[in-house]
Structure 1
Amino acid sequence: MDMGLHHKSALVTGSTKGIGRAIAIELAREGANVLVNGRDREEVERTVIELKSMFPSTDPVAAAADLADREQREALFARHPHVDMLVNNMGIYEMLSYEDTNDEQWETYFRTNVLAANAMCRVYLPNMLERDFGRILFIASEEAMMPSGQMPAYAMTKSMLLSLSKSLSKLTRGSEVTVNTILPGPTLTENVREIIDSLYPGEALTFEDKEKRFMAANLTQSELQRFIAPAEIGRLAAFLCSPCASAFKGSPIRMDGGMIPTIF
């Protein structure tokens, strides 16, 4: 289906790898001109070239910047003051116990995962409201609703994004601007694939066999019993960014593979 995104501009933060890259690809597939963001300028440029090659009718743009850094954010805003769609995907995570997390690490998680995303919204939301069209999409995690206890700083920041999304959505009342959040479950990003591949050395197993073994041993609560493909999240994101999804307002949309065991 045509999602009506041709020639619209989309800034996807952290879009050179993983979920962000998949979202950039799916938006470009729908005809959007994607602003590719990442900290590594070479990776950003490479991703722009790949998008242009895959979707030659679109005009992807390099938007390299460390968005956790205020000066770099402001430089990006000066270059790109208006976008039709903002996907706040950038974030950091690692397995880090509560006892091992110091004050500086808490502050880094808050600054990177929350304050940077909020700064993006403060710049782009007013213009969307003025033009009466826009999409803001946060990428959270099932950890936002069901903290595992293995990464409390990460879980805290993702929960905060749910609250921020709902608060900002209240400002869009009566407009064609929407603010929503996707909550992915365990996703097969490049890093996850490398980790799974490394867990069973010396065993003649296909990746699918390794994945099944890992899920059965470590993620029994998953009803999907496989990792979610980034492209699956990318397609959902493209739909939520489209005019087709105008009735989604301040919604947490779960694509968690059944990880969250409750109905709410």
Structure 2
Amino acid sequence: MKIDLSGKLAVVSGSTAGIGLGIGKALALSGATVVIVGRAAGKVDDAVASITAQVPGAQVRGVVADLATAEGARQLFAAEPRADILVNNLGIFNEVDFFDTPDEEWARFYEVNVISGVRLARQYVDGMVASQWGRVIFVSSESGVAIPANMINYGTTKAANLAVSHGLAKRLSGTGVTVNAILPGPTFTDGVEEMLKDAIAQSGRTAQDEADHFVRRARPSSIIQRAAHVDEVANLVAYLASPLSSATTGAALRVDGGVVDSMAI
């Protein structure tokens, strides 16, 4: 089995670091032309340079745009009006108690984690339908089906990702465009390392060891008993973005290490 995305153009939101950057690399390795999108020019340039250095011959370029805003989306669309593959990865998370989360924070999470992907899908899907081929992938989370008590606003937005992706898949029935969501579990990224920085300082563990310890403590149902690696998540996205996944649509595919204790979603 060979994943070949030669000739395909992929737009990946929130792709200057973490899972998004890993997805960009995986798609470039598979031959796609990849568009990296982020808010800061320096981080976009660094991400493009990182993929170029790791993937000989990679076709990758960057766009600076804040996709949490309608204006930022318009900037992206002006620079990249079409795409064959759209990966809605942009997202934010934090640990905050339900009773300490004001309306403004709920609205911010919804705008970034949900509406950004809605805007991008609205823009790019028409061209995919015209071509009778396309892939739309929403990066949700195991927190979208097992809402954490300390991240209720985050989990709610990730559940919304699942609703949008499933509904859009049905809306695009028979068009040749598939729409799916993936559900990563705890994954070792710069963002997770930042979240655990106080615990790392107190324990003296390495960042990776602390992340694995967090999984065993906070997600004891994990079967792999560790944080996933970015490449493990990105590999699933590369498959879903490929022609090989043509019979997979409307699905929510877990790459959560078995955190969700269920045989189904």
1:46 paired residue number: 46
1:13 paired residue number: 13
Partners of 1:57 and 1:230 in 2: CA distance: 22
Structure 2: give runs of 5+ residues left out of the alignment: none
1:174-253 equivalent positions in 2, closer than 5 A: 174-196=174-196, 198-201=198-201, 205=205, 209-253=209-253
Deviation at residue 194 of structure 1 after TM alignment: 4.7
Q: 1:122 to 1:205 in 2, by over 3 A?
A: closer
Partners of 1:84 and 1:46 in 2: CA distance: 24
Partners of 2:208 and 2:51 in 1: CA distance: 28
CA contact (8 A) 2:140 2:183 kept: yes
What is the CA deviation profile of residues 97-121 of structure 1, one whole-angstrom value per residue up to 9, with x for unaligned ones? 1101111111111111111110000
Partners of 1:208 and 1:79 in 2: CA distance: 37
Q: 1:233 to 1:247 in 2, by over 3 A?
A: same
Give the secondary structure class of the aligned counterpart of 2:237. helix
Q: 1:205 to 1:34 in 2, by over 3 A?
A: same
1:131 corresponds to 2:131: yes
- TM-score between both structures, scaled by the size of structure 1: 0.94
RMSD (Å) for aligned C-alpha atoms: 1.8
Of the two structures, which has the highest relative contact order with CA contacts closer than 8 Å and spacing of 6 or more? 1
Q: 1:203 to 1:156 in 2, by over 3 A?
A: closer
Partners of 1:156 and 1:194 in 2: CA distance: 22
**Identity percentage of aligned residues:** 36
CA contact (8 A) 1:7 1:58 kept: no
1:160 corresponds to 2:147: no
2:90 paired residue number: 90
Deviation at residue 50 of structure 1 after TM alignment: 2.2
Q: Which amino acid aligns with 2:87?
A: V
Give the secondary structure class of the aligned counterpart of 1:179. strand
- TM-score between both structures, scaled by the size of structure 2: 0.94
